[in-house]
Structure 1
Amino acid sequence: MKKKILYVEDDSTLAFLTADNLEQQYDVAHFTNGKEAYAAFKKEDFDLCILDVMLPEMDGFELAAAIRERNVEVPIIFLSAKTLKEDRIKGLRLGADDYLVKPYSMEELILKIEVFLQRSQKQAPAKNTLCTIGSYTFDPANYAITRAGQTIQLTERESALLRLFIDNKNTILKREKILNEIWGNDDYFLGRSMDVFISRLRKIFRDDESIRIENIPRIGFKLVAP
């Protein structure tokens, strides 16, 4: 069965060319505005989302945020003519898996689609058991961390990042290793996104002084925990 892709693009010419290429391998549902796309997302299951940023009624950033509220796992790729690094970082902060700047090559887009689809299908049952870190309990299967009866919901990427830190507790992790394992490459903009995710984890653990994520200058990070 073909994987189902939600594709949102209001440029009719670009949408036709892209959808025509993608439909050779995938089941593509194309929409021209964010509201219609989100309505479809709420009714159907999609394996991956490809979103333009500049969309009528609901822009791509708003759409991605709404999608993430309902589903923290589905891969999201932004396609945009907006080249400012602030826009790329904003997209990645919203939980997108990648941000391609127009004009993009179909070969690159399809390669990224395949990478993210394969990654989302990987299962690691042995790593889905509950684990304790300081006064917190981490549930990787449900992307959740609990302390004193209070549960914080993580995104899939936050959960994967925390899992990597726990698996390498009290050991320095190089920035390149983190980026390649969690994001798939060590692009500069993805590095900025990683810093945002690490800041988020630090805030989660701030009430337990026995846990800290240390910045090792020009090398990487180290999770220090009992």
Structure 2
Amino acid sequence: MGIIVLIEDDTRIQRALRRLFEGENYEVQVLNDGVNAKEATSAVGVEAVVLDLMLPKISGREVCRSIKDRQPNLPVVILSAVSEVADKVLLLELGADDYMTKPFSPRELLARVQAAIRRCNRMGVKPSAPKGFGDVIVDLEQMEVVRAGRLVSLTAQEFKLLRYFFENPTRVISRQQLLTEVWGYESYPTTRTVDNQILKLRQKLEPNPTEPRYLRTIHGAGYKFVPEG
């Protein structure tokens, strides 16, 4: 097994999760705050990050955003005492792969971390060649998007969503399916965050975002990616 980076300032949780992951033959590196998160998560062999949302010095949100900007395929599972919908939506948009609210079941956390690792490994499979649609060229290996010869900046979550559409062309996909397959959530109180992410992709990649040609809405069903337009 590889390394789990645990960023958590509660010593009781540190001890419990160290025992949990070491019992599954993972190596555990514990950080009390996010100051050294960049170096720790960039090390060879890191398979996932378990990140407390409420940290001293640097907020868990900022740590999550920083990790996902650099390593979008590294799973990040959030621990939080906050359960409001707005905070969950924010975590999704930052690119978090899953979350659990405190108090939580250690065995369930282990299962979620392992599921996130499997999911991100699948998402990280390298394609054979760049893909494209219209005047857009997408290099999934290099994580670069070029439109009309100009580099387009996508967030980690936008890129994950675009990759999933390329893996499932012309398939009608519901909002709940996208939350499950891309974000890893089995249930969720709102799917509005999916609509927001689709809107952002359209604004960046569609010739006319108000009349999308490639990222189409299928009313009452979800979305469909049609690369031929």
Q: If the length of structure 1 is used for normalisation, what is the TM-score?
A: 0.86
SS at match of 1:73: coil
Look up the match of 1:146. Answer: 146
Deviation at 1:118, TM superposition (A): 1.8
- How far has the Cα of 1:100 moved from its partner? 0.8
Q: Tell me how far 1:43 sits from its aligned partner.
A: 5.5
Compared CA separation, residues 191 and 143, structure 1 to 2 (3 A): farther
- Tell me, in whole angstroms, the C-alpha distance in 1 between the residues paired with 2:72 and 2:180: 20
Q: Determine the C-alpha separation between the residues in 2 that align with 1:79 and 1:222.
A: 33
Q: Which residue of structure 2 aligns with residue 205 of structure 1?
A: 205
Name the CA shift for 1:155/1:143 in 2 (closer, same or farther; >3 Å).
farther
The structure whose residues are more often helix, as a share, is 1
Superposition deviation, residue 217 in structure 1: 3.4
Closer, same or farther in 2 for the Cα pair 1:96/1:117, shift >3 Å?
same
List per-residue Cα deviations over 1:67-91 (Å, max 9, x = no partner): 1232221111100101111111111
Q: Classify the secondary structure of the residue corresponding to 1:28.
A: strand
Farther-moved stretch of structure 1 (46-55 vs 10-19): 10-19
Given the alignment of the two structures, is residue 216 of structure 1 paired with residue 218 of structure 2, yes or no?
Answer: yes
Partners of 2:92 and 2:183 within 8 A in 1: no
**2:188 maps to amino acid:** Y
Return the alpha-carbon distance in structure 2 between the equivalents of residues 44 and 164 of structure 1: 26
1:28 Cα deviation from its structure 2 partner: 0.7
Structure 1: stretches of 5+ with no match in the other structure? none
Cα deviation 1:36-88 (Å, max 9, x = unaligned): 33443356652111110110001101111121232221111100101111111
| In structure 2, distance between residues paired with 1:3 and 1:155 | 27
Letter in 1 for 2:4: I
Q: For residues 205 and 84 of structure 1, what CA distance do their matches in structure 2 show?
A: 32
Partner of 2:77: 77
What is the one-letter code of the residue matched to 1:99? Y
Q: Which amino acid aligns with 2:15?
A: F
Map 1:52-131 → 2, pairs under 5 A: 52-122=52-122, 124-125=125-126, 127-131=127-131
Q: How many residues align?
A: 224
1:66 and 1:200 map into 2 onto residues whose CA distance is 20
* Alpha-carbon contact 2:81-2:103 (below 8 Å) kept: yes
- Of stretches 139-148 and 185-194 in structure 1, the one that deviates more from structure 2 is 185-194
RMSD: 2.5
Q: Give CA deviations for 1:159-198 in whole Å, capped at 9, x if unaligned.
A: 3422333454455322343333323344225734433322
The one-character-per-residue Cα deviations of 1:2-23 (angstroms, maximum 9, x if unpaired) are: 2111101111112211222112
> 1:210 & 1:177 partners in 2: Cα distance?
21
Identity of aligned residues (%): 29
Offset, 1:30: 0.6
> Which residue of 2 is the match for residue 4 of structure 1?
3
Instruction: Structure 2: state its 5+ residue gaps.
Output: none
- Please, which moves more after superposition, 82-91 or 189-198? 189-198
For residue 151 of structure 1, report the CA deviation from its aligned partner.
Answer: 1.7
Please report the TM-score for the alignment, with normalisation by the length of structure 2. Answer: 0.85
Q: Hey, what's the Cα distance between the residues in 2 that align with 1:69 and 1:156?
A: 6
Tell me if the contact between 1:183 and 1:190 (Cα under 8 Å) persists in the aligned partners: no
| Aligned mates of 1:159, 1:89 — CA distance in 2 | 17
Decide whether aligned partners of structure 1 residues 86 and 31 sit closer, same or farther in structure 2, where only a CA change above 3 A counts: same
